[in-house]
């Protein structure tokens, strides 16, 4: 899963990235941190894998992973035409955006606009995404209008439906409704899919607060509630979390307890990301590998099989499923089958979080 971190200059964007990746990353782009894109991979903590590994003793344990990209802020990206420039393909490939919103105060790091205003900054970043999509839709509308004049009469209805879908999305976006919240038919969405519009992505707002500050919520901001509808949220001090991330785990836990902090930034952001994206993890086990797979909640079993290998979709016979808690109570698959907890499910079975699944495939 790819998640891109975006935010205005001096928002603490890269500090959050360091906190999430424990300071371990690769950099790409021009020299100088202002124009570099940083890349980092974070393994999703899942204690269920540890329990299963103790039983199966596999050759490897593979947790789910999140790949984070830290993009330069809009001022730096202006040299490469910003969101519409060379980083747009990175944004388009993302599953979600972490929008870092400055809510901390520091004389050493003055705010570019002179004063800290989280509502203003969040609105500015969301507007950047909307403006980028509006540019794409405006160009698409013009191309389709030109195409109408060159298309054979029999093909014009299809072009017209395409153009209508573009205009519908464009009008709603211009009225402040991002694509992810627009009421569109399956046909209309299929027309828009190839444009890879940024406002169709999930958004998680990371409110970057002062050290020791009470958690800040989107509801606390002076901002239109409709603008933040469906947006995930996390409130942390990125600077503190980045410093803790450089410590040994035991030392970090001790400091976290002393400071009265809860979960780490990584745990909070991952949980908010899974909740906002509607993801769950199913598990596969064996002597070779114990692994977690992230998929949309209630995905049909046949599609979940396809995340392991595309051939599994074509050759799907059935899925043998047992809930993680049931497996823990039974201790073995054989006992689970004996107690009727290991079930055979068909293609349409909606996969649940913690399902341990063995797919039977016709090869």
For 130-158, write each residue's pLDDT tens digit.
Answer: 999 999 999 999 999 999 888 888 888 99
Q: Are residues 97 and 174 in the same domain?
A: no
Structural domain for 139, as ranges: 127-199
Residue 53 lies in a domain: no
User: What is the CATH number for 141?
Assistant: 1.10.150.300
Least trusted range by pLDDT, from 31-45, 59-73, 93-107: 31-45
Pairing type for strands 289-296 and 279-284 reads antiparallel
Confidence of residue 35 (pLDDT cuts 50, 70, 90): low
Q: Are residues 88 and 211 in the same domain?
A: yes
Q: Are residues 163 and 105 in the same domain?
A: no
pLDDT on residue 61? 97
pLDDT on residue 185? 95
Neighbouring residues of 321: CB distance < 8 A, sequence distance ≥ 6: 301, 342, 343, 344, 345, 349, 355, 356, 357
Residue 289 lies in a domain: no
Residue 319 lies in a domain: yes
Asked whether the predicted pLDDT for residue 29 surpasses 50, the reply is: no
pLDDT on residue 83? 62
For 45-86, write each residue's pLDDT tens digit.
Answer: 999 999 999 999 999 999 999 999 998 765 444 443 446 566
Q: What is the distance between the alpha carbons of residues 196 and 91, in angstroms, rounded to a whole number?
A: 9
Q: Are residues 207 and 150 in the same domain?
A: no
User: What is the CATH number for 345?
Assistant: 3.10.20.30
On average, the pLDDT of the chain sits at 90
Residue 212 lies in a domain: yes
Q: Are residues 216 and 94 in the same domain?
A: yes
Domain count of the chain?
3
Residue 284 lies in a domain: no
Among 225, 247, 277, give the residue marking a domain's end.
277
Pairing type for strands 2-7 and 65-70 reads parallel
Asked whether 314 and 242 are in contact (CB, 8 A), the reply is: no
> Over the range 314-328, which residues count as b (16 or more CB within 10 Å of their CB) and which as e?
eebebbbbbbbebbe
pLDDT on residue 79? 40
pLDDT on residue 63? 97
Asked whether the predicted pLDDT for residue 248 surpasses 90, the reply is: no
Helices of type H across 151-227: 156-174, 186-193
Q: Are residues 176 and 29 in the same domain?
A: no
Sign of the C-alpha dihedral, residues 147, 148, 150, 154? positive
Q: Are residues 257 and 306 in the same domain?
A: no
Q: Are residues 273 and 207 in the same domain?
A: yes
Segment 163-190 shows an average pLDDT of 95
Report which secondary-structure segment, H or E, holds 238: helix 238-245
Q: Are residues 217 and 91 in the same domain?
A: yes
Residue 139 lies in a domain: yes
Among 247, 277, 307, give the residue marking a domain's end.
277
Q: Are residues 93 and 228 in the same domain?
A: yes
Confidence of residue 32 (pLDDT cuts 50, 70, 90): very low
Q: Are residues 218 and 307 in the same domain?
A: no
Among 173, 199, 225, give the residue marking a domain's end.
199
For 306-319, write each residue's pLDDT tens digit.
Answer: 999 999 999 999 99
pLDDT on residue 252? 85
Supply 157's token pair: 């209805």
pLDDT on residue 73? 60
Q: Are residues 229 and 134 in the same domain?
A: no
Residue 36 lies in a domain: yes
pLDDT on residue 77? 43
Give percent above pLDDT 90 in the chain: 74
Residue 285 lies in a domain: no
Helix, strand, or coil (residue 348) = coil
């Amino acid at each position: 899963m790819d998640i891109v971190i975006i935010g205005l200059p001096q928002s603490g964007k890269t500090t959050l990235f360091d906190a999430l990746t424990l300071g371990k990353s690769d950099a790409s782009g021009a020299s100088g941190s202002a124009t570099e894109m940083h890349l980092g991979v974070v393994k999703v903590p899942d204690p269920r894998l540890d329990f299963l590994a103790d039983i199966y003793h596999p050759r490897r344990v593979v947790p789910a992973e999140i790949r984070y990209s830290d993009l330069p802020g809009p001022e730096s990206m202006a040299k490469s035409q910003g969101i519409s420039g060379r980083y747009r393909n990175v944004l388009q490939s993302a599953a979600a955006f972490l929008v870092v919103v400055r809510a901390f105060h520091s004389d050493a790091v003055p705010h570019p606009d002179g004063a800290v205003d989280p509502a203003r900054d969040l609105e500015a970043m969301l507007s950047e995404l909307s403006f980028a999509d509006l540019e794409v839709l405006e160009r698409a509308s013009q191309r389709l209008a030109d195409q109408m004049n060159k298309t054979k009469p029999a093909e014009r209805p299809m072009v017209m439906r395409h153009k209508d879908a573009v205009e519908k999305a464009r009008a709603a976006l211009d009225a402040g409704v991002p694509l992810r919240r627009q009421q569109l038919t399956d046909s209309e969405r299929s027309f828009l899919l190839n444009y890879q519009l940024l406002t169709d992505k999930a958004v998680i707002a990371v409110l970057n607060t002062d050290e020791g500050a009470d958690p800040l919520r989107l509801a606390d901001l002076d901002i239109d509630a409709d603008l933040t509808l469906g947006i995930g949220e996390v409130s942390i001090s990125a600077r503190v979390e980045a410093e803790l991330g450089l410590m040994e785990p035991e030392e970090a836990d001790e400091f976290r307890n002393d400071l009265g902090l809860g979960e780490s930034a990584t745990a909070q952001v991952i949980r908010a990301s899974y909740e906002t994206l509607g993801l769950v993890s199913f598990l596969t086990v064996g002597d070779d590998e114990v692994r977690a797979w992230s998929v949309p909640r209630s995905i049909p079993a046949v599609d979940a099989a396809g995340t392991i290998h595309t051939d599994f979709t074509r050759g799907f016979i059935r899925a043998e499923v047992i809930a993680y808690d049931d497996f823990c109570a039974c201790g073995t698959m054989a006992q689970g089958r004996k107690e009727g907890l290991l079930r055979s499910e068909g293609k349409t079975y909606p996969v649940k979080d913690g399902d341990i699944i063995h797919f039977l495939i016709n090869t």
